A and B are shown apart, each in its own frame.
Chain A
């Protein structure tokens, strides 16, 4: 079945550091790929997405590129802020006629001043 693997956290960075959170996937078809973010005490919200190979999703300074050849969708940001501290989930959905997200286990990011 489909699956998503994320790097384990927590990832601890100082403000203005470069961020990479690795995500790889296994899917039978051609999935859409997502990054969702969960701030403390809140629900998940979409950060960015990409629906086909070589697409780049971007939002709030975060970027991720859909790499079909390496089945990856790594999340990057050039300069993190304390307000970026959250849990980040990589997810995929197949084009199977209904909206089911398969999530990774989540990576907690802690940014210190």
Chain B
């Protein structure tokens, strides 16, 4: 089944304790992104990757890191989490553009609470 998976789905942690949220897709997509969803703000892009070893900042990258060592995986790293990073996180992937309007495929989300 074609899908984007994220782990963990739920995470409670404390300020300053490094964590990684994994994202994996089995559709051989080139493009991958991370978004955070906050009430009243919709989804905002954190980082994106156009291919292996190619990553760039989105709209809200502060406090996050990413890596893309393999095509299928795009982990999100919080080196020193803070309470303002409490949010719902989504990973998404998209096939390489063949034209405008490609669909993004979203993972199920990771709900993070930073105490």
Contacts and interface: CB of A to CB of B under 8 A. Distances in A.
Tell me if chain B binds chain A. yes
Interface of A: 4, 32, 34, 36, 42-46, 49-51, 89, 93, 95, 97-101, 103-106
Interface of B: 4, 31, 33, 35, 40-45, 48, 50, 56, 58, 90, 92, 94, 97, 99-104, 106-109
A103 B31 contact: no
Contact of B101 (A89, A93, A97, A104): A93
Given A89-B42, A100-B58, 16 more contacts: A32-B101, A34-B103, A42-B109, A43-B106, A43-B107, A46-B103, A46-B104, A89-B43, A93-B101, A98-B48, A99-B31, A100-B33, A101-B92, A101-B104, A103-B35, A103-B42
Given A44-B90, A105-B40, A105-B41, A49 B103 contact: yes
A34 to B, nearest CB: 8
A91 B98 CA distance: 20
A95 B35 CA distance: 19
A36 B90 CA distance: 13
Contacts of B48: 98-100
Contact of B33 (A36, A46, A99): A99
Contacts of B50: 98
A100 B58 CA distance: 8
- Give me the 4 closest cross-chain CB pairs, A-B, nearest first: A32-B101, A51-B101, A103-B42, A43-B106
B101 A101 contact: no
A32 B100 contact: yes
